[in-house]
Chain A
Amino acid sequence: MNATKIIANKELKSYLNSPAAYIVLVVFLLISGWFFASPLFINNQAELRSLFNIIPMIFIFFVPAITMGLIAKERNIGTIEQLSTFPIQESQIVMGKFWASVGLIAVGLLFTLIHFLTIIILGQNIDYGAILCGYLGLLLLGAVYSSIGLFASSLTDNQIVSFIISFLIIFFLFILEYSLFILPSYLSGFFQYLSINYHFSNLTRGVIDTRNLVYFGSLIVLFLRFAIIRLKSGKWK
């Protein structure tokens, strides 16, 4: 088995053994469930749009919470020393942890499929394509946030600090679209492209555009790269 997979397995197992992951998952499902269910009963509308609107916002808290310990905790209890003296590469450590985080997010999203089922039962004219794209978008969003969270986690040995840093970066990317109006018009195009919501909302409309995928992909690669560089630099200080 390759080292990335071994690390990912270990992290996933430790998620499933810790109460924190369950608490975060339950809170995530409660909030998303409430936002799905209330329009269902109040407006008699069965749709996933509200879900796709709210989950990116929940992710702003949810993802930093699950990634904050990934490296910071290893630094704090010193296991990073052990891990670094095993014959594996920093990139394998980071990638393993990244996949574990994405895995846990996927589990969270899997549970929201129950809302999808509700819609299949109650709804008419369901746009399966848009929903599928929406889920793909959510997973990509989770992956981007995970890579940011991992980078933040690699910076410090304090999980709270790690949480706050990743929250700030993610929040910045998230808020960009809403702050475009204060920018001069010739810049707004550029900043709109940087905004994560812009790319995500394209996906929820059921359009898979390579520009959006490139955006998500490059953010993921960038922050994972940063995390790897940071891990290496700690060693060569």
Chain B
Amino acid sequence: MIQLQNLVKDYGNLRAVDHINFEINEGEILGFLGPNGAGKSTTLKMITCFLSPTAGNIIVEDRNVYDHSKEIREMIGYLPETNPLYTDMIVYDYLKFVSEVRKISDFKQRLKEVVNKCGLHGVLNKPIETLSKGYRQRVGLAQAIIHDPKILILDEPTTGLDPNQIVEIRQLIKELGKEKTLIISSHILQEVQAVCDRIVIINKGKIVADGSTEQLQNNFQNKNKLVLEIIATEEELSSLADAIEGVDLLSIEPISAHVNKADLEYDAKEDKRKEIYEFIKKQDWILLEMKKESMSLEAVFRNLTIEEGGQA
């Protein structure tokens, strides 16, 4: 549905986006992830026709941005990162203005729908400048979906919101994702993990990973972590790590008088749990808990963006 072909964007001497290629399929919820300054917003601004590419092409439903920018803009709903709004307008007037510009014929019907979806009851007649950040974000979202676009692009939709608002907005995004092609950019991993089918990680203008959440976890995860809660001393635990090849003891943390919590790590390709358990059984230690923790996507993300860029 959306194809980015060898996309490049330069700001003066700075190459913000460096030959990016990927494709977004219809109905997909794509998480666009990267540290600050990686080129996420720039890419989104090019898809929404706010910035023009330095080189390369963007094709949205068989139309390229150079010749059919107006049609593409009609198809897309966009919430920019800074969520700019005309703060002196009241919410109703603002949405009316947007729907006029977007030539929506059944404004009343659409207004009802977005007010319900975005929870704007009660603020419709308030000036935007008096609204809290969470409500402003909802107005921004309402504005982006009022013309029922096929494609919805949200640039860091939850920045600056409190945890409750974040949950609400995520809920709303999930809801919207059922019927639309959605691109969400974020530098927060859990967010993308929570709502997206597919994740593209970008760093320093280049794509460093592209795949589903599980795929990324599997591909980039080379260590498994095992957490033990056990009645055994520190020395005993380190003897365990020494005894079994390929198992490293990461840390020990006393929980109570006798109980220690130990983090063990082993290569993801081999499952060492059996050997560890057998060792513990042989020593007759009392095992209270044994839990495998797969390396979180966060660690994958950190690895990718730190190794490649030198800094996150």
A residues lining the B interface (CB < 8 Å):
1, 3, 6-7, 10, 13-14, 17-18, 77-82, 84-89, 235-237
Q: Which chain A residue has the least Cβ–Cβ distance from B77?
A: A85
Find chain A residues with CB under 8 A from B116 CB: none
Q: Report yes or no: A14 in contact with B84, Cβ–Cβ below 8 A.
A: no
User: Given A14-B89, A85-B73, A236-B52, is A3 in contact with B101 using a C-beta cutoff of 8 Å?
Assistant: yes
Out of A1, A13, A79, which one reaches B85, CB within 8 Å? Answer: A79
Q: Report yes or no: A82 in contact with B80, Cβ–Cβ below 8 A.
A: yes
Find chain B residues with CB under 8 A from A82 CB: 78, 80, 84-85, 143
Q: Report yes or no: A87 in contact with B50, Cβ–Cβ below 8 A.
A: no
Q: B214 on the interface (CB 8 Å rule)?
A: no
* Chain B residues numbered 25-55 whose CB sits less than 8 Å from any CB in chain A: 45, 48-52
Out of A81, A88, A236, which one reaches B80, CB within 8 Å? Answer: A81
Out of B45, B73, B93, which one reaches A86, CB within 8 Å? Answer: B73
Out of B49, B71, B82, B103, which one reaches A84, CB within 8 Å? Answer: B49
Q: B76 on the interface (CB 8 Å rule)?
A: yes
How many residues on B have C-beta within 8 angstroms of the other chain's C-beta atoms? Answer: 28
Q: Report yes or no: B101 in contact with A6, Cβ–Cβ below 8 A.
A: yes
Q: Report yes or no: A235 in contact with B70, Cβ–Cβ below 8 A.
A: no
Query: What is the minimal beta-carbon distance from B81 to any residue of chain A, in angstroms?
Result: 9
Q: Report yes or no: B101 in contact with A235, Cβ–Cβ below 8 A.
A: no
A111 to B51, CA, bound (A): 43
A18-B88, A81-B82 are known contacts; what are 15 more A-B pairs with Cβ within 8 Å?
Answer: A1-B100, A10-B86, A13-B93, A14-B88, A17-B88, A78-B80, A78-B82, A81-B50, A81-B84, A82-B85, A82-B143, A85-B50, A85-B73, A85-B76, A237-B51
Q: Which chain A residue has the least Cβ–Cβ distance from B11?
A: A237
Q: Which chain A residue has the least Cβ–Cβ distance from B72?
A: A87
Q: B87 on the interface (CB 8 Å rule)?
A: yes
Q: Which chain A residue has the least Cβ–Cβ distance from B71?
A: A87
Query: What is the minimal beta-carbon distance from A117 to any residue of chain B, in angstroms?
Result: 34
Find chain A residues with CB under 8 A from B178 CB: none
A131 to B82, CA, bound (A): 50
Question: What are 5 A-B contacts defined by CB distance under 8 Å?
Answer: A10-B89, A77-B87, A79-B84, A79-B85, A235-B52
Q: Report yes or no: A6 in contact with B78, Cβ–Cβ below 8 A.
A: no
A7 to B101, CA, bound (A): 8
Out of A18, A77, A80, A85, which one reaches B78, CB within 8 Å? Answer: A85
7 tightest CB-CB pairs across the interface, nearest first? A78-B84, A79-B84, A87-B73, A236-B52, A87-B74, A85-B48, A6-B100
A80 to B76, CA, bound (A): 16
Find chain B residues with CB under 8 A from A237 CB: 51
Query: What is the minimal beta-carbon distance from A18 to any residue of chain B, in angstroms?
Result: 6
Query: What is the minimal beta-carbon distance from B166 to any residue of chain A, in angstroms?
Result: 22
* Chain B residues numbered 100-128 whose CB sits less than 8 Å from any CB in chain A: 100-103
Query: What is the minimal beta-carbon distance from A86 to any residue of chain B, in angstroms?
Result: 5
Most chain B beta carbons < 10 A, residue from A13, A85, A236:
A85
**Complex interface bits, B142-174 against A, C-beta within 8 A gives 1, otherwise 0:** 010000000000000000000000000000000
A17 to B88, CA, bound (A): 8
